[in-house]
A and B are shown apart, each in its own frame.
Chain A
Amino acid sequence: MTRQLTYAAALREGLDLCLQHDSRVYVMGLGVPDAKGLFGSTLDLARVHGSTRVRDMPTAENAMTGVALGSALVGMRPVLTHQRVDFALLAVEQMVNQVAKWHYMFGGQQPVPLVIRMVIGRGWGQGPQHAQSLQAWFAHVPGLKVVMPATPYDAKGLLIASVEDDNPVISLEHRWLYGVSGPVPEGVYRTPIQQARIARSGNDVTVVATSYMVLEALRAADELALRGVSCEVIDLRTVAPLDEATLLESCRKTGRLVVADTGATSFGVGAEIVARSTERCFSDLRAAPARVGLPDCPAPSAPSLAAEYYPRSHAIVQACHRVLGLPAPAPEAASSHPLDVPDPDFTGPF
């Protein structure tokens, strides 16, 4: 059997390889060398590679993003980390005005090889400012690539591909994935950017999912299979630029589309994917597509409210029923475990 690693360990191994093989790579972020090592993804790397290459940093997100950019302009390949995407909002000026546009606005002379890893998530009362899922914002800005690995394999493969890419790459990592395990080959390999993965093939309905919602979509597919519905689950992996080919091919095959995203439904990734597929293959669609995502309110802290806020596999099952023209499914069965911590059934291997 292939070696199993957690998502966090896979990320750590990817960083370790990048640091080993390319002296221009350095990793920087608040708490990167500390005992928790960014949810385990940077554990011990400072000891191995030294604290100049695996660096802590001041709580000055905006300037440090500019610092990373400036260092990239003179030949470095920084990996910048933020413990929450919410904190990185202080650096939107640098990310959106500068990092994203640098290559274009100076006529393509200066590439910006910069990876910005940011944690998204949910649960344990994280609330309004520790749990946002802002991939649509970043994807909206030309010049940024946006990846959202869902499996340990892709966490490592996309990280290496992102470090090697001569463009800025925003990587959004869902907190609930760090403990999930799955097969991870040793050594250097890449998951191509802008290439979605068919996580499960099927014929009746396409479910395009991002990040943690891939796990929810796979569970929904299991449940639908019991009712004879064959669900194709696409793990988007890269949000921008979009892998339109894989998306459209699947839509043409099944004629039915559901998108399950970790972010807000309105103006979100699901909106873009639904728009794209209806524009490009309207006549192949046999029903109006459906979106599963967050409602139009900030993330609440109380577990009872959060339970209502975050969609789970049942919401995907419901959406599939809708696009398939099936009667609404029975209400969600009461969960045997709390909903504000990662689902123990989702620890893999995947």
Chain B
Amino acid sequence: MKRDRELLYDLLVVRSVEQEIARRYSEQQMRCPTHLCIGQEATAVGVCAALRPEDVVFSGHRSHGHYLAKGGDLTAMLAELYGRGSGCSAGKGGSMHLVDLSVGFLGAVPIVGSTIPMAVGAALGFLLQKLPRVSVVFFGDAAVEEGVTWESIDFALLERLPVVFVCENNLYSVQTPLSARQPAGRTIAQVAAGHGVETESVDGNDVFAVQRAARAAVDRARAGGGPTFLELATYRHLEHVGPNEDVSLGYRSAEEVEAWRARCPVEHATRVLLERGELDASELDELRRRILRDVRHALELARDAPEAQGSLLSDVFASTVSPIDGDQR
């Protein structure tokens, strides 16, 4: 568990990173599709705060927040966006393929729903090895339309696996609203509960509530109580992919965007801490300045690093074997 001040710090970091990426994206030096999580930071920060370093996380296309909240290396992530050899995936993946094994961020891929069974598999691996670890997967509301999601949840239930399914419901799949994708009159949480998985719906923009719910789910998983499904209500401020606002596209109203901006997760946490007197305005300013300085420094390091080169054909295969009878070959 993290203290409330640490949660705010993490929220400010993720927000600052995403804003700085947005600011630099139009320079066309980060040449890969980039899905920013501005407006959704509390799901990443709240859930990861409930994890131990040895617990593992998988994610999808909108993964910057999850990677950073799990402790992923900032410069390596930015270098990946810049296509550098020092990127977290050596320039092979881009924004949609982040990884940091050193902190248990096992991977993010942009095929909707695809990492859900992998998280279940990691949990199975923990069970088979009798390791008291928990596996978490983040996915969006579109992933609940994929068959693999329910195949995976069923198997996790069957084997009582230590896995937490975290659905970030931001109401849209690209520009398509939930109403065009899922039958009316039922919530995602109801569908999950109908499958028999322990389910909780939480305000995904309240980082404290998210951490509480995640903690309960993680504890349960670690204690052998099986999987939990968390539906976290949240909202993406910018366009689906890229650095811009998108009200002009017409798929959502200015009023809707404004209403959700008023429920900004970073402002919410800031307000709570200021009101409680755990932080004052000048401390907050100082915090923000320091974070911005660090983020800009990381951005410069990443941007100035050498391009990925000479590695096109490397790593298609691992060159190693693991002899079953232990002799070195």
A interface residues (Cβ-Cβ under 8 A, vs B): 17-18, 21-22, 25-26, 52-53, 57-58, 60, 62-77, 93-94, 97-98, 102-113, 142-143, 145, 160-161, 163-167, 188
Contacts and interface: CB of A to CB of B under 8 A. Distances in A.
28 contacts: A58-B154, A62-B151, A63-B116, A63-B120, A66-B114, A66-B120, A66-B121, A67-B124, A67-B152, A67-B155, A70-B122, A71-B121, A71-B122, A71-B125, A72-B125, A73-B118, A75-B129, A93-B111, A94-B114, A98-B118, A106-B90, A106-B92, A107-B99, A108-B315, A110-B101, A143-B316, A163-B324, A188-B324
Interface string B70-93: 000000000000000001111111
A142 B316 contact: yes
Nearest to A58: B155
Contact of A98 (B87, B109, B320): B109
Contact of A93 (B114, B128, B324): B114
A107 B93 contact: yes
A108 B85 CA distance: 12
Given A94-B114, A102-B107, A110 B128 contact: no
A66 B320 CA distance: 22
B174 interface: no
Given A18-B324, A111-B318, A164-B322, A105 B155 contact: no
A63 B148 contact: yes
Contacts of B184: none
Interface string B294-329: 000000000000000000001111101111111000
B114 A98 contact: yes
B317 A143 contact: yes
B148 A66 contact: yes
Contacts of B117: 62-67, 69-70, 94
Contact of A166 (B111, B114, B321): B321
B56 interface: yes
Q: Kindly list the 6 A-B residue pairs having the minimum CB-CB distance in the complex, ordered from nearest.
A: A70-B121, A66-B117, A107-B90, A108-B315, A63-B151, A70-B118
B318 A167 contact: yes
A104 B318 CA distance: 9
A97 B155 contact: no
A271 B117 CA distance: 36
A25 B324 contact: yes
Scoring B99, B114, B148 by chain A CB atoms within 10 A of each residue's CB, the highest score goes to: B148
Interface in B143-158: 147-148, 151-152, 154-155, 158
A97 B118 contact: no
B323 to A, nearest CB: 6
A53 B129 CA distance: 11
Given A22-B324, A103-B316, A109-B99, 8 more contacts: A60-B155, A67-B117, A71-B121, A74-B131, A76-B124, A106-B107, A107-B88, A164-B322
Contact of A66 (B92, B152, B317, B326): B152
Scoring A66, A75, A107, A160 by chain B CB atoms within 10 A of each residue's CB, the highest score goes to: A107
A164 B118 CA distance: 21
B315 A103 contact: yes
B37 interface: no
A58 B158 contact: yes
Interface in B90-126: 90-93, 97, 99, 101, 106-107, 109, 111, 114-126
Contact of B125 (A18, A75, A106, A107): A75
B151 A166 contact: no
A71 B326 CA distance: 21
